[in-house]
Amino acid sequence: MSTTHIPAGSTHDHDDPLPSGWSRTAVEGAFEVLHRKWTVALLLALWDHDLRYHQLEHGLRIKAKVLSESLRGLERDGLVTRVFGPGTPAPVMYSLTPLARSLGSVLHALQDWSLVHLDEVHECRRQKTDEAAAPELALTLG
């Protein structure tokens, strides 16, 4: 049985499957912020202008209860804030915070990846579904 010699003082842990410079916790943290169903839709809806509750509700075709919960979560995370407009009663508008706007490059990168690779992902899924449905065919083709 051979063993790999790790030099004294080496910081690379060979049991760690992550490439150097990556933090799974940090990447998962970003996805934790973005993974909720309506988060990306709300961020994109508010990107160019502030909107009122009913504009979001009707524009996104989202149920009121789900919208309220989603907006509360985005406010809690510091991504959305309520802005009160002029008038009586003052209209409530929802606006992105600078923290939310800092996600712009991340959202663009995800969009770019999706435009290039999502068809490929769907094709792989289709192939695996077909293979699972007809395992004897996969064996004869392999």
Kindly report, residue by residue over 44-93, the tens digit of the pLDDT: 999 999 999 999 999 999 999 999 999 999 999 999 999 998 888 889 99
The identity of residue 124, as a single letter, is C
CA-nearest of 26, 34, 35, 56 to 103 is 34
Domain ranges of the chain: 23-97, 103-142
Residue, of 68 and 5, whose pLDDT is higher: 68
Q: What is the pTM of this model?
A: 0.76
Sheet hosting strand 80-84, strand order edge to edge? 51-52, 92-96, 80-84
| Mean of pLDDT values over 105-112 | 96
Q: Is the pLDDT of residue 2 over 70?
A: no
- E strand segments, the chain: 51-52, 80-84, 92-96
Q: Is the pLDDT of residue 138 over 80?
A: no
> What is 23-97's CATH topology?
Arc Repressor Mutant, subunit A (1.10.10)
Q: Using an 8 Å Cβ cutoff, are 56 and 75 in contact?
A: no
Kindly report, residue by residue over 13-41, the tens digit of the pLDDT: 556 688 888 999 999 999 999 999 999 99
Residue, of 141 and 108, whose pLDDT is higher: 108
Q: Using an 8 Å Cβ cutoff, are 113 and 119 in contact?
A: no
| Mean of pLDDT values over 102-115 | 96
Q: Which residue has the tokens 């992902």?
A: 121
